[in-house]
Structure 1
Amino acid sequence: MNMNAPSFSSPFSSLFSRPAWIAIVVCGVILAALPLLNLAFGPEHPLHVSSYTVGLIGKFMCYAMAALALDLVWGYTGILSLGHGVFFALGGYMHGMYLMRAIGRDGVYQSDLPDFMVFLNWSEYPWYWWMTEHFWFAMLLVVLVPGLLAFVFGYFAFRSRIKGVYFSIITQAMTFAFMLLFFRNDTGFGGNNGFTDFKRILGFTITTPETKAVLYLVTLAALLGSLLLCRAIVTSRLGRVLQGVRDSESRLMFIGYNPLWFKLFVWTLSGVLCGIAGALYVPQVGIINPSEMSPANSIEMVIWAAVGGRGSLLGPIIGAFSVNGLKSWFTAAFPDLWLYALGLIFILVTLFMPQGILGVVQKLKKRIKDGETA
């Protein structure tokens, strides 16, 4: 599979079939029930779902939302990004600033400043922490900061008609540069350790099962909302133009369209969705640091989309759950071999499952249907 090929024939032409809608509803109900079962039943009850499982699935849903955002630009517009991790992490950092302010004087140094600032002899907050003690302002930053970075970066890249492998390389360079920047102690973002030890969110203790359940359900709602939004886009006239950009950008320009603004719109929206996913990820995991901007994390997002089936919306969600579920088991059983396993998975998918898991399902359904009509 040529990952940067200008033409991409997707078997997922209908979004979604009736069985797919039923599966989405059933999965949504099951996922929504997990935190409720955690709260309703004690650890000894057979219906009890552990807090660890709730937290793990919540994290997977954030990853699935990031993979969905990537599919919007890669699967439907043909823009392969190896730097979406920076949008994910920036959304997390913007929310993390509020969570650090919400600690108040409950830190180790009992100061109005976060512990890392006291340790580094900061006397006051830097200017870019202004208003971050307000939740609504932090949420505004969650949308604006990744969105602004995506818009500026995309404008200059697309205006210069950078595409294909060259675009992928500069996105990877972007996320690597941001990672190095955030590793510095003098940037005011916690340096190597980042943000952690969160205490409260909107006045509620962040570690209680009830708060975790609410965060989980908000994440599920955001994932389903993002799925519906992306479906509305790709099935609209705008979506057909985006697929025209993917399949033959020069032909699209010949008939009078300017691809710049279409690509810029979908690229910026994808960055915003990734930032929201990162903001939901941080309070559930309890930490955000520069390692989230590692180029390897962005490459993993590509693998999630490829494994599930890019250009399908549901595929990247399935891929995110599948790969990360396997990662959770593999890193516990064979911690030193996970990266080799991940590379092998991507090679096997590229060679034998170019349309991913959903592509295999579609082929099986077609064979069964052909057998019934024979």
Structure 2
Amino acid sequence: MTAAGSNLKSLPLIWLPFKNPIIALLLVVLVPVVVSIVIGALTFINRIRGVYFSILSEALAVIFSVILVGSQSYTGGSNGLTGFKNFMGVDLYQPAGKLTLFYVALIVLTLAYVISYQMINHKIGRILVAIRDSENRLRFTGYNTSIYKIFIYAFAAALSGIAGALYVCQVGIITPTDVNVMFSIEMIIWVAIGGRATLLGPVIGALVVNEFKTIISNYFPSLWYYFIGGLFILVILLFPSGFSGLKDLPHYLRTRKTLRQLGSASDTSSQEVVSNEPNTIAKPSQNFSKDIEK
């Protein structure tokens, strides 16, 4: 793969190994995995989770982006690295090269889905679901939940590294903007809109959001962030399970209707019971004053 920084005449020596496709493919996976294992070990062993983990993740994204901007002699600064023209003999600027990248991305997505599906239906998948539902209960049964969380964190980092490499090949440029907070939040929105409890949901969310992004950015560039924020709030309020949960909407409506009918029947029965009871409380005794005097 060939590339050059916008402010660099040639790539620094640290980038030379990436000219070898095999080394580039290995480092695309190994670097994110190693970094995620270090961060995951420091985070999960200290039982940092929930909102604190989210804040830490966004803070790391900001730090990493600032480091890339400040290391202009190595990363091209805010302009990043450009000129990714070919990879393994494929001209990335030609339509045939773009089509090849599309099929490669489709194959990688399919493999990632199959591996994730098999993992979920394996013992480790059931343990991860148990961690999601009640981590403390699982820890009390003797499981070291930190190990499983570090593993799935590293697995997600490996997938992210591969996806990032394919993204760079497709657009031909990588800048610090691609690792900032807004981009990571946008990916969270993909998951929320598609449905975080399913494997296919985030894929659907990514396709839907990016299609809207293309359309709206072409006609109303300044309104994109307002639109994505409004869509995110709408989905959270009305469809907490995302678009993938729409298939359960008929069942939800039927259940709600049944509960409403049961509630109405219960209220009617209560009124009938009250009306059939002797009205001893509503009508005070005629000898009430005499009873008091006694």
TM-score w.r.t. structure 1 length? 0.65
Counterpart selection for 1:222 from 102, 108, 129: 108
C-alpha contact 1:181 1:187 (8 A) present in aligned 2:
no
Residues 1:256 and 2:256 are matched in the alignment: no
Following superposition, the deviation at residue 187 of structure 1 comes to 5.0
**How far is 1:213 from its partner?**
1.3
Q: 1:162 aligned to 2:48? A: yes
SS at match of 1:188: helix
Rg comparison, structure with higher value: 2
The CA distance in 1 between the partners of 2:104 and 2:121, in whole Å, is: 26
What do the CA deviations read for 1:136-195 (whole angstroms, capped 9, x no partner)? 101111001111111110010011110110011011000100000111244501111111
What does residue 125 of structure 1 align with? 12
> Which runs of no fewer than 5 residues in structure 2 stay unpaired?
258-294
Task: Name the residue aligned to 1:236.
Answer: 122
Q: Percent identity over the alignment? A: 39
Which letter does structure 2 place at the counterpart of 1:308? G
Amino acid at match of 1:100: A
Return the alpha-carbon distance in structure 2 between the equivalents of residues 187 and 313 of structure 1: 40
Name the structure 1 match of 2:68: 182
Matched residues in 1 for 2:111 and 2:99: separation?
18
RMSD of the alignment, in Å?
A: 2.1
Answer 1 or 2: higher relative contact order, Cα 8 Å, separation at least 6: 1
Instruction: Note if contact 1:147-1:268 (Cα within 8 Å) is conserved in structure 2.
Output: yes
Q: What does residue 100 of structure 1 align with?
A: 3
Give the distance between the partners of 1:347 and 1:340, measured in 2 at CA: 11
If the length of structure 2 is used for normalisation, what is the TM-score?
A: 0.82
Give the aligned partner of residue 7 of structure 2: 116
Normalized per residue, the structure richer in helix is 2
Structure 1 pair 131/254, CA: closer, same or farther in 2 (3 Å)? same
Between the aligned partners of 2:182 and 2:72, the Cα distance in structure 1 is 25
**2:220 pairs with 1:317:** no
8 Å contact kept, 2:6–2:76? no
Correspondence for 2:188 among 291, 299, 302 = 302
| 1:291 Cα deviation from its structure 2 partner | 0.2
Residue identity opposite 2:154 in structure 1? T
Letter of the 1:298 partner, please give it. Answer: S
Q: Distance in 2 between matches of 1:222 and 1:237?
A: 24
Deviation of residue 277 (structure 1)?
A: 0.3
Distance 1:187 1:165, change over 3 A: farther
In the alignment, structure 1 segments of 5+ residues that lack a partner are: 1-97, 102-113
Aligned AA for 1:235?
A: N
**Cα distance in 2 between the residues matched to 1:125 and 1:341:** 41
Contact 1:185–1:192 (CA<8 Å) still a contact in 2?
no
Number of the residue aligned with 1:336: 222
Which one-letter code corresponds to 1:234 in the other structure? Answer: I
Q: Which residue does the alignment assign to 1:39?
A: none
- In the alignment, is the contact (CA less than 8 A) between 2:21 and 2:88 conserved in 1? yes
Q: What's the CA shift string for 1:96-129, capped at 9, x where partnerless?
A: xx4327xxxxxxxxxxxx66333xxx8x833x32
Equivalent residues, number: 257
Contact 1:144–1:272 (8 Å) recurs in 2 = yes
- Note the alpha carbon deviations across 1:322-364, whole angstroms, 9 max, x for none: 1111111111122111111111111111111101111112223
Deviation track 1:200-223 (CA, whole Å, cap 9, x = no partner) reads 222332212222111110000001
